[in-house]
Amino acid sequence: MSTSPIIEHVALTPDAYLSLDALADYSGISVRQIRNLIADPARPLPCYRIGRRVTVRRSDYDAWASAYRQVGTDIMGQIERLQRRRRRRRVTHAAP
């Protein structure tokens, strides 16, 4: 009787299907947060459910995550938001 070899390492090709644990290692996001992203009603992370097992295709994750890419910091936007907040505080606290 022959036994099948145990595969310990799977090469990560662009279209590899990753378990949530493997995706957590790849992305640096916790498994709990990945589950929340899958359930997000506004922009869910695409996944495949086979029975109870949930997998995510690596290329699907990369495409989904690229929508959140940011370059640089919006310093002027942050300054304007802080100024608006300060103005609102002055208006509410100025009344006797």
Q: Distance between the two ends of the chain, CA-based, in angstroms?
A: 89
**Alpha-carbon distance 75 to 64, whole Å?**
26
Q: Which residue has the higher pLDDT, 40 or 10?
A: 40
What does the radius of gyration of the chain's CA atoms come to, in whole angstroms? 22
Q: Which residue has the higher pLDDT, 84 or 2?
A: 84
- Domain assignment present for residue 2? The answer is no
In CATH, what number is assigned to the domain containing residue 38? 3.90.105
> Which of residues 21 and 92 earns the better pLDDT score?
21
Per the structure, the count of domains in the chain is 1
Q: 0.75 exceeded by the pTM? A: no
Least confident of 9-13, 78-82, 88-92: 9-13
| 74: three-class secondary structure by DSSP | coil
Domain range for 49: 7-68
